[in-house]
Structure 1
Amino acid sequence: MGESGAMEHKQWAASCFNKVWDLLGKEDRSERDDDEMVHLCHASFWHWSQHEGHTATNISIGYWQLARVYAVIGQGEQALAYAEKCLKVTAEAELAPFYMAYAHEAQARAYAVLGERERMEAAAAEASRLTERVTDAESRGWLLADLATIAR
C-alpha cells in the first residue's frame, strides 16, 4: 500500500477512535449508539492494524478501548477478553507504566462487570501501583479518575 493509503488508515483509525469517545461521553446513549460504538471501535482497531507504521502502543490502546466499550455496554466476557489481549501486547512490548496501568484498569473494569469482586480489586490494586510510576501528572490524573469510575 502506498503512503496515501497508509495515511488513510491512520486517519480512519483516529476518526473512529474519537467518535467512540463522543459516544462514550453521551449521557443518553441508545442501544443503536452502543452498536455504533462497538462497530466504530472495531473499525478503529482494524485500521490501526492495517497502517504500516502501527506500533505495539497503537495495538495496546486499541485493545484497551475495545475492553472499555464492552465493559460499558455490560458485556463482561468480551471486555475481559480484550483486556487480556491488551495486557499481553503491553507486557510483551514492555510499554511504559501508563499503558500497563491502563491494561490492568481494563481488566478491573471487566471483572467488575462480571461481578468478580476479588479479581477486580486485585487488578485495580495493580493498576494503582503502576499509576504511582507514571511521572506525567496529567496522565496520572486520567488513570486515577478512570480507576475511580470502576463500580466497586
Structure 2
Amino acid sequence: MAENKTITPLAHREFAAQYFNNVWDLLEKENRTEEDNERMVHLCHASFLHWTEVENHTAEHLSIGYWQLSRVYVTIGKPEIALEYAKKCIEISEKGGLTPFYLGYAFEALARAYYQLHLIPEAKAAFKKAYSLAKQVEPSDHQELLIKDLETMM
C-alpha cells in the first residue's frame, strides 16, 4: 500500500477520533435510516484505517476499532461480518496482552454476533467468558460499563 504523505500523523489521529465519535452518535441515534447505517459503516472503517496510519497506534486502538466494527455490523443486522471483527478483536487483544477490560469487550462482541446468528451455545459461552473477564476489571477501570453492556444481552 502506498504511503500517503499528504495527511499528517496528527491529522490521522484527529480523523480517527472524530469518525469514531461520529459512529457513536449514529449508534445512539433513534430511528436511523438506511443512509445513516451506510454512513456509519463507512465512518467506522475510515476511523479504523486512520488509526492504522497513526505511527504509534497500539493494540488497544486496534482492539477498540475491531470492537466498534463488530458492534456496527451487529447493529445493522449483519452478524456474519460482526463475527469476523469480533474474532479479530479477540486476536489482537490476546496478542497485545491487553487488560481484561478490552478482552471482555472482545468477548462481548463475539457473544452479540453469535446471538444474532442464533448460535446460542456459542453465544452463552462467549457471554460467560466476557462476564468472567468483567469481574477481573478494577471498578475504577470502567468495570460497571462492561457489565452494563453485557446486561443488555440478558
Confirm whether residue 45 of structure 1 aligns to residue 48 of structure 2: yes
* RMSD between superposed Cα atoms in Å: 1.4
Q: Distance in 1 between matches of 2:147 and 2:50?
A: 29
Amino acid aligned to 2:150:
L
Please identify, of 134-143 and 55-64, the stretch whose mean Cα deviation from structure 2 is larger.
134-143
Structure 1 position 136, deviation (Å):
2.9
Amino acid aligned to 1:135:
E
Q: Distance in 1 between matches of 2:124 and 2:33?
A: 30
Q: Distance in 1 between matches of 2:145 and 2:122?
A: 22
Which residue in 2 is equivalent to 1:67?
70
> Which of residues 94, 113, 119 in structure 2 aligns to 1:116?
119
Which residue in 2 is equivalent to 1:92?
95
Structure 1 position 145, deviation (Å):
1.2
Following superposition of structure 1 onto structure 2, how do residues 1-152 of structure 1 map, counting pairs within 5 Å? 5-137=8-140, 139-150=142-153
TM-score (norm 1): 0.95
> Gapped runs of 5+ residues in structure 2?
none
Structure 1 position 144, deviation (Å):
1.0
Amino acid aligned to 1:134:
V
Amino acid aligned to 1:87:
I
Structure 1 position 138, deviation (Å):
6.0
DSSP-derived class of the 1:132 partner:
helix
TM-score (norm 2): 0.93
Identity %: 47
Residue deviations 1:19-52 (CA, integer Å, cap 9, x gap): 0000000011111100010000000000000111
Residue deviations 1:85-143 (CA, integer Å, cap 9, x gap): 00000000110000000000000010011111110010000000000110034611111
Structure 1 segments of 4 or more deviating over 3 A? none
Amino acid aligned to 1:9:
H
